[in-house]
Structure 1
Amino acid sequence: MNDITPSELKERQQQQQAPIIIDVRETWEHEEARIDGSRNIPLGELPGKLEELEDLKHTEVVVHCKGGGRSATAKALMQQHGFQNVRNLLGGINAYNAQ
């Protein structure tokens, strides 16, 4: 699955068609700034939370962090565990907020 641009995500949100959004930044980062509707699961906690996310294996999920590095790792991890529709937010929340 291809990654998603901030403009595509914002457009989908405006059309009420937003995918599940998981913020893999640390909790304090999520508290400082967040994308509306996102769920915070820090990257270090993600491996232990995958079982809880089992019902999302066939659902479109967008992962994001500050700039795209941690979320690329999260995407790869989720794909290794059978998640079939994971997309990374290109440029992370920095790019999203710059739009």
Structure 2
Amino acid sequence: MIAFWPIAPLLLAALPQTLFAVQYAVRPFGAGQWWRDRVGRALFNKATALAIVLDLLTMHVFSAGWPQWSFAAPEGGFAIAETIGYWYVFAAVVYQYGALVRQRHEDREARQT
């Protein structure tokens, strides 16, 4: 059984990271010509790679049998640092996706006025 709560932030980050990669790259969602810029290509590749890793982790967790819903506290300093790191990844992914959505919304409003 896989313990759910220690990896919960990574599982929660899978959806917004996948949505970011898709919305960043697909023209109907307001994507620019990201492939023409070195930083744009790097951001797309990083976003897609992280989305794949998080999506595969999510599929693995739920295909390996239902996770154990334990609230066991992490043991040791490394486990605590790992948990904090996972929550930081989650927060950064959600912030990144929110920033993209807000920027696209503001750009759309600016074009309409």
Structure-2-length-normalised TM-score: 0.22
Where relative contact order (Cα < 8 A, 6+ residues apart) is larger, the structure is 2
Larger radius of gyration: 2
More helix by share: 2
